Amino acid sequence: MMNIAQLISLCVARLPVVALSAAPRKIVLAYSGGVDSEILAYGLAQYAKQHPQFDYQLVHVHHGLSANADDWAVHCQAQAEKYQLPCTIARVKVELAPRTSVEALARSVRYEALLAQMRPADILMTAHHQDDQLETILLALKRGLGPKGLSAMGKVQSFGKDKWLIRPLLDLSKTDVETYAKAQGIGHIQDESNFDEKYDRNFLRQSIIPALKQRWSAIAATASRSAELCAMQQSVVDEELALRLPLIQREQGGEWVINLATFAQYSKAWQALLLRGHMDFLGFAPPSKVQAEQIIAQLLDAKVDANIEIKLSDVLIKRFKGAGYFLPIIAVTHFTKVAVSSIDELLATGVTYGHQKLVKATLATNSGVRLPRADEEVTIEFALPGSTRCQPQHRSKGRELKKLWQEFAVPPWTRSTVPLLCYDGKLVCAIGYWNEKAFVCAENEQGLSVKC
């Protein structure tokens, strides 16, 4: 008879040593009360007695999507008492919307609820098994995903950047799980939605996978091996990508951009990988194959003066002065002039616009711009006319503001958000870019240094 506690122990042992050095440490089980998570809770109770150095928590996420949801919560609390493990019922609301997947929304809020119960370095444990892995692989094929998607689920993975995820049952079939539960007399709930084939996973589970297993009995195991091979190859790609990605990236005006001249030197295959890597680095969803091809073609092949603007679900992609910009699609804030009541206010709290801090200031000798006179009005302004005559501190001649924006490679779409320190409406400092020569503090005098 298999030993669930030992399977948990083997997963924990695979965590990097550095992950085990932080304290306190908690193991959190995503506990639905279904047969899979039930046998894992049963095994976790045994493991907890053998490893008292950890804290333990069962977390049942109550979506409220089923009329039986309250009964399931009661079941989980009762079972947790038998296992002598603490149990939390996390109540969440799934905001249904047109053209959205209930499965995806429920999964998203479920993981948010689990994350809320965890601290850095904690371990989340889920009850995915071999048949779940096969479902994930088939769904990845249906979506046209590459090796990363076909890697499916691993036994040990990072989770939420500073936490860990383990799946002790991943080598067990659904039959193994059900046989174990029956032999141990472990009660469990049955979610009626698991039989509704309008959901893709249920369609695979009820109609496709049984037929595949009837023809090829070992398909779940062989598909898992394919996923492991894909994961191995992806890890090599990720290692190489980590070396190459910094070579095409640079920070420009507070944005991480792609240097297109360097990017163009790579092969088409590497361009696609680097594009996905850069978007992942910025936190955007990966593009499809067709989208990636269109983005690369637009960034590299469009005419120099073309106004490139590619909009995906969560990102707006633009090109300016040989760089590719990837901007989040958010509501644009239109800034207006902000009056500064006193220099003391500027030094103490800085200047805010709504809840956004725009600028902060410090005093230093022989540095920055001169302090305003008592009769000068101090303002933070935006979008001065492009014809405004300016002369940066170390320049012998002045230039129009619009020419300086181009010289400093400030993209047109961000120029109206650059805060400009003004005295009586005259430009004193383009904050983050230059100080005006006429307003630089005199030698041995205190000056005002203003930053974003």
pLDDT at 342: 79
Same domain as 368, residue 317? no
**For residue 318, what are the β-bridge partners?**
309, 325
Please say if the pLDDT value at position 249 is more than 90: yes
User: Cα 358 from chain centroid?
Assistant: 25
Q: Are both 346 and 415 inside the same structural domain? A: yes
- How many CB atoms are located within 10 Å of the residue 377 CB? 11
Q: Is residue 224 part of a domain?
A: no
Model confidence at 19, in pLDDT bands (50, 70, 90)?
A: low
Number of Cβ atoms within 10 Å of the Cβ of 362:
13
Same domain, 343 and 426: yes
Q: Which of 270, 287, 37 is nearest to 168 (CA)?
A: 37
In a domain, residue 410? The reply is yes
Choose the final residue of a domain: 215, 236, 256.
215
Lowest mean pLDDT among 161-165, 194-198, 332-336: 332-336
Among the ranges given (84-98, 322-336, 404-418), the one the predictor scored with the smallest mean pLDDT: 322-336
**How confident is the model over 132-148, as a mean pLDDT?**
90
Q: Is residue 288 part of a domain?
A: yes
* Whether 349 and 304 share a structural domain: no
Residue 350 and residue 312 share a domain: no
Quote the pLDDT of residue 409: 85
Would you say residue 240 lies in a domain? Answer: no
State yes or no: pLDDT of 116 exceeds 60.
yes
- For residues 90 and 5, the answer to whether their CB atoms sit within 8 Å is no
220 within domain boundaries: no
Residues 436 and 395 in one domain: yes
Q: Quickly state the pLDDT bin for 100 (edges 50, 70, 90).
A: low
Tell me, yes or no, whether 366 and 294 share the same domain: no
Tell me, yes or no, whether 92 and 209 share the same domain.
Answer: yes
Mean predicted confidence (pLDDT) in 262-284: 95
Among 328, 363, 391, give the residue marking a domain's end.
Answer: 328
Q: Which residue has the tokens 């691993």?
A: 154
Stretch among 151-160, 287-296, 326-335 having the lowest mean pLDDT = 326-335
> Considering the domain boundaries, does residue 439 fall inside one?
yes
CATH code: domain of residue 304: 3.30.465.60
Same domain, yes or no, for 166 and 263? no
Amino acid 32: pLDDT: 93
Query: Across the chain, what does the average pLDDT equal?
Result: 89
Among 328, 352, 384, identify where a domain stops: 328
What average pLDDT score do residues 424-445 get? 92
Q: Report if residue 230 sits inside a domain.
A: no
State residue 359's pLDDT score.
79
H/E stretch holding 245: helix 219-248
Phi-psi region for residue 99, left (φ > 0), alpha (ψ -120 to 50) or beta? left
Is the predicted pLDDT of residue 103 greater than 90, yes or no?
no
Residue span of the structural domain in which 310 resides = 247-328
Read off the CATH number of the domain in which 153 is found.
3.40.50.620
Residue 324: band (very low, low, confident or very high) from pLDDT cuts 50, 70, 90? very high
Q: How far apart are CA 310 and CA 34, in angstroms?
A: 44
Average pLDDT over residues 280-296: 91
Percentage of the chain surpassing pLDDT 70? 94
List Cα–Cα distances, 64 to 57, 80, 90, 349, 446, in angstroms. 21, 20, 11, 45, 63
Question: What is the structure's pLDDT at 291?
Answer: 93
Give residue 452's identity as a one-letter amino acid code. Answer: C
pLDDT confidence of 21, banded at 50, 70, 90? Answer: low
209/257 same-domain check: no
Q: Are residues 17 and 153 in the same domain?
A: yes
Token digits of residue 321 = 């002065």
The length of the chain is 452
Asked if residue 349 and residue 310 are part of one domain, the reply reads no
Summarize pLDDT for 175-222 with one digit per residue, the tens.
999 999 999 999 999 888 777 888 888 899 999 999 999 999 999 999
Q: Which of 180, 170, 164, 159 is nearest to 134 (CA)?
A: 170
- Domain total in the chain: 3
Q: What is the pLDDT of residue 42?
A: 96
Domain membership flag for residue 400 = yes
Q: Does the predicted model carry a pTM greater than 0.85?
A: no
Maximum C-alpha span of the chain: 89
**Residue 13 φ/ψ, nearest 5 degrees:** -65, -20
User: Which of 158-162, 180-184, 367-371, 435-439 is least confident?
Assistant: 158-162
Which is more confidently placed, 101 or 24?
A: 101
